[in-house]
């Protein structure tokens, strides 16, 4: 097996250890960072796998990670909403949402997606090594560089600030930035571009939080007094993202 293929396997095995640790921490209801850390390691794993699609066992492992990611997305959104309500002094409402959050976390602790991911991870090294012996892992760096080119081409040249446009950009920026973090020696982006990507992602993440909170306020009248603040904050985040995006495109021109 090539040194690079071996290094990827080591990274995946280290992520498996971290994911097991995070899964164990979920049992402690006082550990407010367990879910966040689980999602960070899961995100890193999925970013590592994405350029390798089509190779033996990669698609199965990626699907297992995607399934768990989809399950944790609404739980994390609820967790962030609880923190926002507590920050705004709405403790009684936050307490009710906290109960829903705890029920969601209880479901996550016993879900099928976690053991399924760990089962696939456990079997992955043997398949990866066999694939290397059969010559299936040639050109890994070329695959990754090709993925970077594809992701860069998908970034639009202009931004119209529509909700659909901002949502699509947020996902594309996340993929490009996370892949760059996972493969720092292969990314074509410079330090300034990566710094701008991080800021764009943060602004669009805050904007997305506001959109979720506004959806919740439409279903819960107790949150209605917060709508104007969330609307204003969301608009400010979108404006900031637009300015940063123009700088990013200028650096890449």
pLDDT digits (tens, 9 = 90+) for 119-159: 999 999 999 999 999 999 999 999 999 999 999 999 998 88
Question: Which residues have C-beta within 8 Å of that of residue 134, sequence separation ≥ 6?
Answer: none
Question: Which residues have C-beta within 8 Å of that of residue 109, sequence separation ≥ 6?
Answer: 26, 27
Mark 200-233 as b/e (b = at least 16 C-beta within 10 Å): bbebbbbbbbbbbbeebbeeeeebeebeeebeeb
* CB-based contact 137:131 (threshold 8 Å): yes
* 3-class SS string, 137-180: CCCHHHHHHHHHHHHHHHCCCCCCCCHHHHHHHHHHHHHHHHHH
pLDDT at residue 160 greater than cutoff 80:
no
Residue 111: what pLDDT? Answer: 96
* CB-based contact 22:41 (threshold 8 Å): yes
Token pair, residue 222, equals 């107790």
> Could you read off the pLDDT of 199-238 as tens digits, one per residue?
999 999 999 999 999 999 999 999 999 999 999 999 999 9
Predicted confidence band of residue 104 (pLDDT cuts 50, 70, 90): very high
Give CATH 1.20.120 domain extents, the chain: 1-138
Question: Which residues have C-beta within 8 Å of that of residue 47, sequence separation ≥ 6?
Answer: 175, 178, 179, 181, 182
**Residue 66 Cα distances to 103, 140, 214, 231, angstroms:** 22, 22, 26, 31
Spatial separation of the C-alpha atoms in residues 157 and 154, rounded to whole Å: 9
Average pLDDT, the chain: 95
Spatial separation of the C-alpha atoms in residues 100 and 216, rounded to whole Å: 13
**Residue 175 Cα distances to 31, 66, 92, 130, 180, angstroms:** 28, 13, 37, 29, 8
**Residue 235 Cα distances to 148, 209, 210, 215, angstroms:** 30, 12, 9, 15
Task: Kindly report the CATH class assigned to 1-138.
Answer: mainly alpha
CA end-to-end span of the chain: 39
* CB-based contact 203:234 (threshold 8 Å): no
The pTM (predicted TM-score) of the whole model is 0.93
Predicted confidence band of residue 253 (pLDDT cuts 50, 70, 90): low
């Amino acid at each position: 097996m090539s040194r690079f293929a071996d290094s990827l396997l080591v990274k995946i095995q280290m992520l498996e250890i971290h994911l097991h640790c995070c899964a164990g921490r979920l049992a402690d209801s006082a550990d407010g960072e367990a879910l966040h850390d689980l999602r960070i390691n899961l995100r890193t794993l999925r970013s590592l796998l994405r350029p390798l699609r089509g190779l033996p066992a990669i698609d199965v492992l990626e699907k297992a990670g995607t399934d768990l990611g989809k399950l944790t997305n609404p739980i994390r959104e609820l967790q962030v909403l609880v923190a926002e309500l507590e920050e705004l002094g709405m403790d009684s409402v936050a307490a009710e949402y906290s109960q829903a959050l705890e029920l969601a976390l209880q479901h996550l602790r016993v879900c099928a997606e976690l053991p399924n991911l760990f089962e696939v991870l456990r079997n992955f090294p043997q398949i990866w090594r066999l694939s290397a012996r059969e010559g299936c892992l040639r050109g890994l760096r070329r695959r990754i560089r090709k993925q970077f080119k594809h992701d860069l081409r998908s970034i639009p040249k202009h931004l119209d600030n529509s909700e659909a446009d901002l949502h699509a950009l947020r996902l594309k920026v996340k993929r490009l930035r996370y892949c760059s973090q996972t493969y720092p020696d292969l990314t074509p982006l410079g330090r300034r571009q990566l710094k701008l990507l991080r800021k764009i992602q943060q602004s669009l993440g805050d904007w997305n939080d506001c959109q979720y909170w506004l959806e919740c306020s439409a279903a819960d009248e107790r949150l209605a007094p917060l709508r104007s603040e969330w609307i204003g904050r969301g608009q400010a985040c979108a404006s900031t993202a637009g300015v940063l995006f123009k700088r990013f495109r200028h650096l890449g021109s």
